[in-house]
Amino acid sequence: MKYTTDDVHNRVKKILYGLTGITLADNKDIMISNRIDKLKRDSKYKGDIMDLLHLVEEGSYVTEFINSFTTNKTHFFREDFHFLDLKNRAIPQLAKSGNKINMYCSASSTGEEPYSMAMTLLEVQDEIGKKLNASVIATDIDTNVLQYAANGVYRYSKSSKEFPEWIKPSKYFKRRIEKNLAGEEILIKVKDELKKMLTFQVMNLNDNTYPFSKNQFDIVFCRNVLIYFSAEDQNKILKKLFSHLKIGGTLYLGHSENPQDLVNYVKRVGQNIFIKEKEAF
């Protein structure tokens, strides 16, 4: 049977939207082709791509399909002004109540973001000299990145400047030098004190409901993921996330994201930093 590249790409887009809500723009042809190659490699499927896509529609190779089409770019302390706000305003305020501090990272990718949240909390703990009861739940739709995050081993380059000057990586990571064909590489492994604050679980932001209780979280990070959704779907996701945020809690969005319909229910306190003022719906 004859089909064009457009036919394949359109089918991919339709399946991806149905499974994840991710909307791929029309100028993403090269990316889609590369991701199809990844899907073929990861699924080890040797037959025709249209047959493979048919199998995905029928419920096979769904994980491989989703994992191939997510974009997982992230790094420690990305958009570091959010972590400064956590350190200087949000966490110290929450610490005063003595209650458990519940943090949620809703698209955690390979873990750098939720580990950065947890490191920030531990820094405040040291600064105020008071033990804080806190946890970070980290979710993502991609099972490969969650596995990577739970493993907690990262490549470290001194020149990458990923860590702000107020974080000493040796406090939170064990260092290991690994020799490989490319020479020597420094690997850092998350220490147990940090790791035990986090729980990683698979979750699709496109699901109708989320496995959390109403007003469960004091802090919600939803950064650099809404950009993959249509405006209508961004609104749906934000409303669901918002229902799990406490009044007075803080929502952090990525640099090109905004609170959409929630704008009248939040107070902006910094660059893409919003405090929930009242229930929205």
Ligand X SMILES: C[S@@+](CC[C@H](N)C(=O)[O-])C[C@H]1O[C@@H](n2cnc3c(N)ncnc32)[C@H](O)[C@@H]1O
Interface map 167-196 toward ligand X (x if CB under 6 A):
------------------------------
Of 80 and 113, the one with the shorter C-beta distance to ligand X is: 113
Which of 68, 102, 120, 224 lies at the binding interface for ligand X (CB under 6 A)? Answer: 224
Which of 145, 167, 190, 245 lies at the binding interface for ligand X (CB under 6 A)? Answer: 145
70 binds ligand X (CB under 6 A): yes
234 binds ligand X (CB under 6 A): no
How many residues touch ligand X under the rule CB under 6 A: the total is: 24
107 binds ligand X (CB under 6 A): yes
113 binds ligand X (CB under 6 A): yes
234: phi then psi, degrees, rounded to nearest 5? -60, -45
Q: Which stretch binds ligand X (CB under 6 A): 33-41, 105-113, 124-132, 181-189?
A: 105-113
Rounded least distance, CB 157 to ligand X, Å: 17
SS (H, E, C) the chain: CCCCHHHHHHHHHHHHHHHHCCCCCCCCHHHHHHHHHHHHHHHCCCCCHHHHHHHHHCCCCHHHHHHHHCCCCCCCCCCCHHHHHHHHHHHHHHHHHCCCEEEEECCCCCCHHHHHHHHHHHHHHHHHCCCCCEEEEEEECCHHHHHHHHHCEEEECHHHCCCCCCCCHHHHEEEEEEEECCEEEEEEEECHHHHCCEEEEECCCCCCCCCCCCCCEEEEEECCCHHHCCHHHHHHHHHHHHHCEEEEEEEEECCCCCCHHHHHHEEEEECCEEEECCCCC
Of 125 and 260, the one with the shorter C-beta distance to ligand X is: 260
94 binds ligand X (CB under 6 A): no
140 has catalytic annotation? yes
Rounded least distance, CB 44 to ligand X, Å: 22
109 binds ligand X (CB under 6 A): yes
CA atoms within 13 A on the CB side of 150: 13
Rounded CA separation 78/140 (Å): 17
Of 113 and 123, the one with the shorter C-beta distance to ligand X is: 113
228 binds ligand X (CB under 6 A): yes
Rounded least distance, CB 182 to ligand X, Å: 25
Rounded CA separation 243/39 (Å): 35
Do residues 91 and 51 lie in contact, with contact meaning Cβ atoms separated by under 8 Å?
Answer: no
What is the footprint of ligand X within residues 14-43 (CB under 6 A)? 20-22
Q: Which stretch binds ligand X (CB under 6 A): 25-33, 42-50, 65-73, 89-97?
A: 65-73
249 binds ligand X (CB under 6 A): no
Residues marked active site are found at 35, 140
Interacting residue ranges for ligand X, rule: CB under 6 A: 20-22, 70-74, 78, 107, 109, 113, 140-142, 145, 204-206, 223-225, 228, 254
